[in-house]
Protein backbone atom coordinates (compact mmCIF):
# COMPACT_ATOMS: atom_id res chain seq x y z
CA UNK A 1 0.00 0.00 0.00
CA UNK A 2 2.81 2.39 0.87
CA UNK A 3 4.49 1.92 -2.53
CA UNK A 4 1.19 2.30 -4.35
CA UNK A 5 0.57 5.55 -2.49
CA UNK A 6 4.04 6.81 -3.40
CA UNK A 7 3.58 5.88 -7.06
CA UNK A 8 0.26 7.71 -7.25
CA UNK A 9 1.76 10.75 -5.47
CA UNK A 10 4.70 10.77 -7.87
CA UNK A 11 2.39 10.69 -10.89
CA UNK A 12 0.30 13.52 -9.47
CA UNK A 13 3.37 15.65 -8.74
CA UNK A 14 4.79 14.99 -12.20
CA UNK A 15 1.51 16.03 -13.76
CA UNK A 16 1.53 19.18 -11.65
CA UNK A 17 5.14 20.01 -12.59
CA UNK A 18 4.61 19.54 -16.31
CA UNK A 19 1.28 21.34 -16.14
CA UNK A 20 2.86 24.34 -14.45
CA UNK A 21 5.71 24.40 -16.98
CA UNK A 22 3.17 24.27 -19.79
CA UNK A 23 1.37 27.26 -18.30
CA UNK A 24 4.61 29.21 -17.76
CA UNK A 25 5.73 28.80 -21.38
CA UNK A 26 3.02 31.03 -22.97
CA UNK A 27 3.13 33.41 -20.00
CA UNK A 28 6.88 33.90 -20.37
CA UNK A 29 6.54 34.36 -24.15
CA UNK A 30 3.76 36.91 -23.68
CA UNK A 31 5.84 38.86 -21.17
CA UNK A 32 8.94 38.71 -23.37
CA UNK A 33 7.15 40.01 -26.47
CA UNK A 34 5.75 42.99 -24.58
CA UNK A 35 9.02 43.78 -22.81
CA UNK A 36 11.13 43.56 -25.97
CA UNK A 37 8.65 45.75 -27.85
CA UNK A 38 8.77 48.31 -25.05
CA UNK A 39 12.59 48.17 -24.97
CA UNK A 40 12.98 48.68 -28.73
CA UNK A 41 10.61 51.65 -28.69
CA UNK A 42 12.57 53.23 -25.83
CA UNK A 43 15.83 52.62 -27.70
CA UNK A 44 14.51 54.52 -30.75
CA UNK A 45 13.32 57.41 -28.57
CA UNK A 46 16.64 57.60 -26.71
CA UNK A 47 18.56 57.56 -30.01
CA UNK A 48 16.57 60.54 -31.26
CA UNK A 49 17.27 62.43 -28.02
CA UNK A 50 20.95 61.46 -28.18
CA UNK A 51 21.26 62.83 -31.71
CA UNK A 52 19.48 66.05 -30.71
CA UNK A 53 22.11 66.41 -27.96
CA UNK A 54 24.86 65.74 -30.51
CA UNK A 55 23.42 68.40 -32.82
CA UNK A 56 23.36 70.81 -29.91
CA UNK A 57 27.21 70.59 -29.92
CA UNK A 58 27.51 70.25 -33.73
CA UNK A 59 28.55 66.61 -33.48
CA UNK A 60 27.68 64.31 -36.40
CA UNK A 61 24.49 62.33 -35.91
CA UNK A 62 24.51 58.54 -36.01
CA UNK A 63 21.70 56.03 -35.84
CA UNK A 64 21.58 52.34 -35.03
CA UNK A 65 18.49 50.24 -35.75
CA UNK A 66 17.43 47.01 -34.04
CA UNK A 67 16.84 44.60 -36.92
CA UNK A 68 15.94 41.45 -34.98
CA UNK A 69 15.47 40.03 -31.50
CA UNK A 70 15.76 36.26 -30.98
CA UNK A 71 14.88 35.02 -27.50
CA UNK A 72 15.32 31.35 -26.53
CA UNK A 73 13.47 30.02 -23.47
CA UNK A 74 14.74 26.89 -21.72
CA UNK A 75 12.09 25.25 -19.51
CA UNK A 76 13.43 22.39 -17.33
CA UNK A 77 11.61 20.14 -14.89
CA UNK A 78 12.80 17.15 -12.85
CA UNK A 79 11.21 14.75 -10.40
CA UNK A 80 12.25 11.60 -8.52
CA UNK A 81 12.06 9.42 -5.42
CA UNK A 82 14.49 9.93 -2.56
CA UNK A 83 15.11 7.28 0.10
CA UNK A 84 16.21 3.68 0.58
CA UNK A 85 14.78 0.21 0.42
CA UNK A 86 15.52 -2.45 3.08
CA UNK A 87 14.07 -5.16 5.38
CA UNK A 88 14.03 -3.15 8.59
CA UNK A 89 11.09 -3.62 10.94
CA UNK A 90 10.77 0.13 11.38
CA UNK A 91 10.13 1.77 7.90
CA UNK A 92 11.23 5.14 9.26
CA UNK A 93 14.82 3.89 9.13
CA UNK A 94 14.51 4.11 5.32
CA UNK A 95 12.48 7.29 4.71
CA UNK A 96 11.14 7.69 1.19
CA UNK A 97 10.20 11.10 -0.28
CA UNK A 98 9.51 12.85 -3.56
CA UNK A 99 11.76 15.45 -5.18
CA UNK A 100 10.76 17.75 -8.03
CA UNK A 101 11.92 21.05 -9.38
CA UNK A 102 11.53 23.49 -12.27
CA UNK A 103 13.69 26.21 -13.84
CA UNK A 104 13.27 28.76 -16.67
CA UNK A 105 16.20 30.35 -18.53
CA UNK A 106 16.05 33.13 -21.14
CA UNK A 107 18.83 33.68 -23.70
CA UNK A 108 18.11 36.70 -25.91
CA UNK A 109 20.19 37.66 -28.97
CA UNK A 110 19.70 41.19 -30.31
CA UNK A 111 20.98 42.15 -33.76
CA UNK A 112 21.59 45.83 -34.43
CA UNK A 113 22.56 47.50 -37.69
CA UNK A 114 24.51 50.77 -37.76
CA UNK A 115 22.84 53.04 -40.33
CA UNK A 116 25.82 53.77 -42.56
CA UNK A 117 26.66 53.84 -46.22
CA UNK A 118 25.34 55.85 -49.14
CA UNK A 119 21.76 54.53 -49.01
CA UNK A 120 21.22 55.25 -45.32
CA UNK A 121 23.04 58.58 -45.46
CA UNK A 122 20.80 59.58 -48.36
CA UNK A 123 17.71 58.74 -46.32
CA UNK A 124 18.88 60.91 -43.42
CA UNK A 125 20.24 63.81 -45.48
CA UNK A 126 17.79 64.08 -48.37
CA UNK A 127 14.69 66.26 -47.91
CA UNK A 128 11.41 64.58 -47.05
CA UNK A 129 8.80 64.29 -49.80
CA UNK A 130 5.20 65.34 -50.17
CA UNK A 131 3.83 61.82 -49.62
CA UNK A 132 5.22 61.89 -46.05
CA UNK A 133 3.52 65.22 -45.34
CA UNK A 134 0.24 63.95 -46.80
CA UNK A 135 0.36 60.70 -44.78
CA UNK A 136 0.86 62.50 -41.45
CA UNK A 137 -1.68 65.24 -42.25
CA UNK A 138 -4.29 62.58 -43.00
CA UNK A 139 -3.54 60.95 -39.63
CA UNK A 140 -4.91 64.06 -37.94
CA UNK A 141 -1.69 65.80 -36.86
CA UNK A 142 -2.00 69.58 -36.94
CA UNK A 143 -0.54 71.16 -40.05
CA UNK A 144 1.08 73.87 -37.90
CA UNK A 145 3.05 71.19 -36.03
CA UNK A 146 3.99 69.34 -39.22
CA UNK A 147 5.18 72.49 -40.99
CA UNK A 148 7.19 73.72 -38.01
CA UNK A 149 9.00 70.36 -37.89
CA UNK A 150 9.22 69.42 -41.55
CA UNK A 151 9.40 72.71 -43.46
CA UNK A 152 12.56 74.66 -44.23
CA UNK A 153 10.40 77.57 -45.31
CA UNK A 154 7.93 79.00 -47.82
CA UNK A 155 8.79 80.11 -51.34
CA UNK A 156 6.04 82.57 -52.30
CA UNK A 157 5.28 84.26 -55.61
CA UNK A 158 4.18 87.87 -55.15
CA UNK A 159 3.67 90.81 -57.48
CA UNK A 160 7.23 92.03 -56.94
CA UNK A 161 8.84 88.63 -57.40
CA UNK A 162 9.57 85.49 -55.37
CA UNK A 163 10.24 85.67 -51.64
CA UNK A 164 11.74 83.09 -49.29
CA UNK A 165 10.54 82.93 -45.68
CA UNK A 166 12.90 80.55 -43.88
CA UNK A 167 11.93 78.61 -40.75
CA UNK A 168 14.96 79.69 -38.73
CA UNK A 169 14.82 82.16 -35.80
CA UNK A 170 18.00 83.93 -36.94
CA UNK A 171 16.14 84.94 -40.11
CA UNK A 172 14.18 87.49 -38.07
CA UNK A 173 11.25 88.80 -40.14
CA UNK A 174 11.49 85.82 -42.49
CA UNK A 175 10.95 83.48 -39.54
CA UNK A 176 8.05 85.60 -38.27
CA UNK A 177 6.37 85.54 -41.67
CA UNK A 178 6.87 81.77 -41.96
CA UNK A 179 5.19 81.21 -38.61
CA UNK A 180 2.30 83.52 -39.51
CA UNK A 181 1.72 81.70 -42.79
CA UNK A 182 1.81 78.32 -41.04
CA UNK A 183 -0.67 79.58 -38.43
CA UNK A 184 -2.97 80.85 -41.17
CA UNK A 185 -3.00 77.45 -42.88
CA UNK A 186 -3.61 75.77 -39.51
CA UNK A 187 -6.51 78.12 -38.81
CA UNK A 188 -8.10 77.25 -42.15
CA UNK A 189 -7.54 73.57 -41.35
CA UNK A 190 -9.34 73.98 -38.02
CA UNK A 191 -12.24 75.71 -39.82
CA UNK A 192 -12.41 72.75 -42.28
CA UNK A 193 -11.56 75.08 -45.15
CA UNK A 194 -8.15 73.65 -46.02
CA UNK A 195 -7.55 70.84 -48.52
CA UNK A 196 -4.38 68.73 -48.56
CA UNK A 197 -5.09 66.45 -51.50
CA UNK A 198 -3.47 65.30 -54.75
CA UNK A 199 -4.74 66.87 -57.96
CA UNK A 200 -7.10 64.57 -59.88
CA UNK A 201 -7.55 65.28 -63.58
CA UNK A 202 -7.97 63.65 -66.97
CA UNK A 203 -4.78 63.63 -69.00
CA UNK A 204 -6.17 64.27 -72.47
CA UNK A 205 -4.65 64.41 -75.97
CA UNK A 206 -6.57 65.14 -79.17
CA UNK A 207 -5.05 63.77 -82.38
CA UNK A 208 -5.79 63.98 -86.09
CA UNK A 209 -4.82 60.51 -87.26
CA UNK A 210 -5.94 57.73 -89.49
CA UNK A 211 -8.77 55.50 -88.26
CA UNK A 212 -7.26 53.46 -85.41
CA UNK A 213 -6.71 49.76 -85.62
CA UNK A 214 -9.04 47.93 -83.16
CA UNK A 215 -5.99 46.31 -81.60
CA UNK A 216 -4.59 49.75 -80.78
CA UNK A 217 -7.81 50.65 -78.99
CA UNK A 218 -7.74 47.40 -77.02
CA UNK A 219 -4.09 47.94 -76.10
CA UNK A 220 -4.76 51.52 -74.94
CA UNK A 221 -7.78 50.39 -72.89
CA UNK A 222 -5.70 47.73 -71.13
CA UNK A 223 -3.20 50.44 -70.12
CA UNK A 224 -5.96 52.54 -68.55
CA UNK A 225 -6.56 54.89 -71.47
CA UNK A 226 -9.89 55.70 -73.02
CA UNK A 227 -10.22 56.30 -76.72
CA UNK A 228 -12.99 58.47 -78.11
CA UNK A 229 -13.69 59.32 -81.75
CA UNK A 230 -15.48 62.39 -83.05
CA UNK A 231 -17.00 61.22 -86.33
CA UNK A 232 -17.87 64.78 -87.41
CA UNK A 233 -14.34 66.20 -87.56
CA UNK A 234 -12.32 62.99 -87.55
CA UNK A 235 -10.45 63.71 -84.31
CA UNK A 236 -9.41 61.01 -81.86
CA UNK A 237 -9.18 61.80 -78.15
CA UNK A 238 -7.06 59.65 -75.85
CA UNK A 239 -7.36 60.25 -72.13
CA UNK A 240 -7.11 58.57 -68.75
CA UNK A 241 -7.75 59.57 -65.10
CA UNK A 242 -4.52 60.75 -63.46
CA UNK A 243 -3.49 61.30 -59.85
CA UNK A 244 -1.21 64.33 -59.87
CA UNK A 245 0.99 66.15 -57.38
CA UNK A 246 -0.08 67.26 -53.91
CA UNK A 247 -1.84 70.62 -53.50
CA UNK A 248 -2.56 72.59 -50.31
CA UNK A 249 -5.46 74.95 -51.04
CA UNK A 250 -8.42 76.79 -49.54
CA UNK A 251 -10.80 75.33 -52.15
CA UNK A 252 -11.83 71.92 -53.42
CA UNK A 253 -9.70 71.41 -56.52
CA UNK A 254 -12.11 68.77 -57.85
CA UNK A 255 -14.57 71.59 -58.56
CA UNK A 256 -12.14 73.32 -60.91
CA UNK A 257 -12.27 72.73 -64.68
CA UNK A 258 -10.14 69.79 -65.81
CA UNK A 259 -7.72 72.01 -67.73
CA UNK A 260 -7.03 74.17 -64.67
CA UNK A 261 -6.35 71.10 -62.53
CA UNK A 262 -3.96 69.86 -65.21
CA UNK A 263 -2.25 73.28 -65.31
CA UNK A 264 -1.72 73.22 -61.53
CA UNK A 265 -0.24 69.73 -61.82
CA UNK A 266 2.16 70.88 -64.54
CA UNK A 267 3.16 73.83 -62.35
CA UNK A 268 3.86 71.47 -59.43
CA UNK A 269 5.97 69.27 -61.73
CA UNK A 270 8.45 72.14 -62.08
CA UNK A 271 9.53 71.44 -58.50
CA UNK A 272 10.98 68.33 -56.87
CA UNK A 273 8.77 66.21 -54.60
CA UNK A 274 10.39 67.91 -51.60
CA UNK A 275 8.39 71.04 -52.50
CA UNK A 276 4.61 71.09 -52.08
CA UNK A 277 2.44 73.48 -54.10
CA UNK A 278 0.29 75.86 -52.01
CA UNK A 279 -2.53 77.98 -53.47
CA UNK A 280 -4.57 80.12 -51.06
CA UNK A 281 -6.79 82.15 -53.38
CA UNK A 282 -8.80 85.31 -52.90
CA UNK A 283 -12.53 84.71 -53.05
CA UNK A 284 -12.34 81.63 -50.83
CA UNK A 285 -12.12 81.32 -47.01
CA UNK A 286 -8.88 82.89 -45.80
CA UNK A 287 -8.23 84.39 -49.20
CA UNK A 288 -7.67 87.87 -47.78
CA UNK A 289 -4.19 86.56 -46.78
CA UNK A 290 -3.30 84.92 -50.13
CA UNK A 291 -0.36 82.62 -50.73
CA UNK A 292 0.81 81.07 -53.97
CA UNK A 293 4.08 79.18 -53.89
CA UNK A 294 5.63 76.09 -52.35
CA UNK A 295 6.50 74.60 -48.97
CA UNK A 296 10.17 73.59 -48.88
CA UNK A 297 10.56 70.36 -46.90
CA UNK A 298 13.79 69.54 -45.08
CA UNK A 299 15.64 66.36 -44.12
CA UNK A 300 15.65 64.34 -40.90
CA UNK A 301 19.16 65.63 -40.23
CA UNK A 302 18.01 69.25 -40.71
CA UNK A 303 15.06 68.72 -38.33
CA UNK A 304 17.35 67.35 -35.63
CA UNK A 305 19.78 70.23 -36.17
CA UNK A 306 16.94 72.76 -35.92
CA UNK A 307 15.88 71.32 -32.54
CA UNK A 308 19.49 71.08 -31.34
CA UNK A 309 20.17 74.76 -32.07
CA UNK A 310 17.08 75.75 -30.08
CA UNK A 311 18.94 75.27 -26.76
CA UNK A 312 20.83 78.56 -27.00
CA UNK A 313 22.41 79.11 -30.42
CA UNK A 314 19.24 79.88 -32.40
CA UNK A 315 16.34 79.90 -29.98
CA UNK A 316 12.77 80.15 -31.18
CA UNK A 317 10.65 83.04 -29.95
CA UNK A 318 6.93 83.66 -29.67
CA UNK A 319 5.12 84.71 -32.85
CA UNK A 320 1.49 85.85 -32.88
CA UNK A 321 -0.81 85.08 -35.78
CA UNK A 322 -1.60 87.64 -38.48
CA UNK A 323 -4.74 89.74 -37.88
CA UNK A 324 -6.24 88.16 -41.00
CA UNK A 325 -6.13 84.75 -39.32
CA UNK A 326 -9.40 84.49 -37.43
CA UNK A 327 -9.24 81.03 -35.83
CA UNK A 328 -6.64 80.47 -33.06
CA UNK A 329 -4.71 77.21 -32.91
CA UNK A 330 -2.06 75.78 -30.59
CA UNK A 331 1.04 77.94 -30.88
CA UNK A 332 3.76 77.15 -28.30
CA UNK A 333 7.06 78.99 -28.47
CA UNK A 334 9.16 75.88 -29.14
CA UNK A 335 8.46 73.31 -31.84
CA UNK A 336 9.92 70.59 -29.61
CA UNK A 337 11.23 71.55 -26.19
CA UNK A 338 14.04 69.29 -24.93
CA UNK A 339 15.19 69.84 -21.34
CA UNK A 340 18.92 70.01 -20.59
CA UNK A 341 19.76 69.33 -16.93
CA UNK A 342 22.69 68.25 -14.74
CA UNK A 343 20.64 65.48 -13.11
CA UNK A 344 17.99 63.17 -14.47
CA UNK A 345 14.60 64.87 -14.02
CA UNK A 346 11.80 63.14 -12.17
CA UNK A 347 8.67 61.99 -13.95
CA UNK A 348 10.29 62.04 -17.41
CA UNK A 349 9.49 59.22 -19.79
CA UNK A 350 12.52 59.59 -22.07
CA UNK A 351 15.94 60.81 -20.92
CA UNK A 352 19.47 60.18 -22.18
CA UNK A 353 22.89 61.25 -20.78
CA UNK A 354 25.41 63.09 -22.97
CA UNK A 355 28.54 65.09 -22.09
CA UNK A 356 27.74 65.09 -18.37
CA UNK A 357 24.16 66.31 -18.82
CA UNK A 358 20.74 64.75 -19.26
CA UNK A 359 18.44 65.47 -22.19
CA UNK A 360 14.74 64.72 -21.88
CA UNK A 361 11.45 65.63 -23.51
CA UNK A 362 9.54 68.22 -21.54
CA UNK A 363 6.21 66.76 -20.51
CA UNK A 364 3.18 68.99 -20.10
CA UNK A 365 0.24 67.69 -18.05
CA UNK A 366 -2.96 67.05 -19.98
CA UNK A 367 -5.45 69.85 -19.50
CA UNK A 368 -7.33 72.64 -21.21
CA UNK A 369 -4.17 74.64 -21.97
CA UNK A 370 -3.54 75.29 -25.64
CA UNK A 371 -0.12 73.62 -25.53
CA UNK A 372 -1.13 70.51 -23.57
CA UNK A 373 0.47 67.38 -25.04
CA UNK A 374 2.07 69.38 -27.88
CA UNK A 375 5.57 68.27 -26.89
CA UNK A 376 4.66 64.59 -26.70
CA UNK A 377 2.86 64.75 -30.05
CA UNK A 378 5.73 66.61 -31.68
CA UNK A 379 8.24 64.04 -30.44
CA UNK A 380 5.97 61.25 -31.71
CA UNK A 381 5.84 62.90 -35.16
CA UNK A 382 9.65 63.12 -35.19
CA UNK A 383 9.81 59.42 -34.36
CA UNK A 384 7.37 58.58 -37.18
CA UNK A 385 9.41 60.66 -39.62
CA UNK A 386 12.53 58.72 -38.72
CA UNK A 387 10.76 55.38 -39.06
CA UNK A 388 9.32 56.38 -42.45
CA UNK A 389 12.73 57.50 -43.70
CA UNK A 390 14.67 54.44 -42.52
CA UNK A 391 12.78 51.27 -43.43
CA UNK A 392 13.38 47.73 -44.70
CA UNK A 393 16.95 47.32 -43.48
CA UNK A 394 17.18 43.83 -44.98
CA UNK A 395 17.46 45.23 -48.53
CA UNK A 396 20.81 46.88 -47.96
CA UNK A 397 23.86 44.85 -46.90
CA UNK A 398 25.33 46.51 -43.84
CA UNK A 399 27.58 44.89 -41.19
CA UNK A 400 25.34 43.80 -38.32
CA UNK A 401 26.26 43.51 -34.65
CA UNK A 402 24.79 40.65 -32.59
CA UNK A 403 24.61 41.12 -28.82
CA UNK A 404 24.01 37.92 -26.85
CA UNK A 405 23.04 38.14 -23.21
List, for residues 12-69, the tens digit of each pLDDT value.
555 555 554 555 455 555 565 565 556 666 778 888 999 999 999 999 887 776 655 5
Give the pLDDT score at 97.
Answer: 55
Residue range 187-206: average pLDDT?
Answer: 88
Q: What is the dihedral sign for C-alpha 22, 24, 26, 32?
A: negative
Most confident of 58-72, 95-109, 191-205, 294-308: 294-308
Give the integer Cα–Cα distance in Å for 94 and 85: 6
Q: Is the pLDDT of residue 385 over 80?
A: yes
Q: What is the dihedral sign for C-alpha 253, 258, 263, 268?
A: positive
Q: Is the pLDDT of residue 402 over 50?
A: no
Percent of the chain beyond pLDDT 90?
45
Q: Is the pLDDT of residue 141 over 70?
A: yes
**Which of 219-228, 234-243, 351-360, 380-389 comes out lowest in average pLDDT?**
219-228
Give the pLDDT score at 401.
Answer: 47
Give the pLDDT score at 373.
Answer: 82
Q: Is the pLDDT of residue 98 over 90?
A: no
Is the pLDDT higher at 312 or at 100?
312
Strand order in the sheet with 401-404: 64-83, 96-114, 401-404
Q: Is the pLDDT of residue 219 over 90?
A: no
**Which of 137-146, 302-311, 325-334, 389-398 comes out lowest in average pLDDT?**
389-398
Contact (Cβ atoms closer than 8 angstroms) between residue 62 and residue 115? yes
- Which residues in 38-191 belong to E strands, given as ranges? 64-83, 96-114, 151-158, 161-166
Give the integer Cα–Cα distance in Å for 291 and 194: 13
Give the pLDDT score at 119.
Answer: 66
Residue range 203-211: average pLDDT?
Answer: 60
Residues 245-268: pLDDT tens digits?
999 999 999 999 988 999 999 999
In 3D, which of 350, 395, 368, 405 has the Cα closest to residue 120? 395
Give the pLDDT score at 24.
Answer: 47
Helix (H, G, I), strand (E, B) or coil at 355: coil
Which class for 151: exposed (0-12), middle (13-18), buried (19 or more C-beta within 10 A)?
A: buried
Give the pLDDT score at 315.
Answer: 95
Residues 147-161: pLDDT tens digits?
999 999 999 998 888
Q: Is the pLDDT of residue 125 over 80?
A: yes
Give the pLDDT score at 152.
Answer: 97
Amino acid sequence: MRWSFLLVSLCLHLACVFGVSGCLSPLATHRAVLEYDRTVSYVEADLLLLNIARARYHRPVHFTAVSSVAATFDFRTDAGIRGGIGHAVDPSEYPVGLEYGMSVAENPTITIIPITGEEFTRRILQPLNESTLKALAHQGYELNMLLRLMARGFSIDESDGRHLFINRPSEGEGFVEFRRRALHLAGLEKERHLYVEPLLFNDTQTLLVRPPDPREIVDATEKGYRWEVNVENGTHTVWRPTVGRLLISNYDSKRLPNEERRRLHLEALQYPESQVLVDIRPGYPGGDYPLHGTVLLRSINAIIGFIGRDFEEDREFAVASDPRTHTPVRNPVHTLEVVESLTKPEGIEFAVPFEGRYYSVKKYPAGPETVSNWNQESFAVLSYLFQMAVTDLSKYPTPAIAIQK
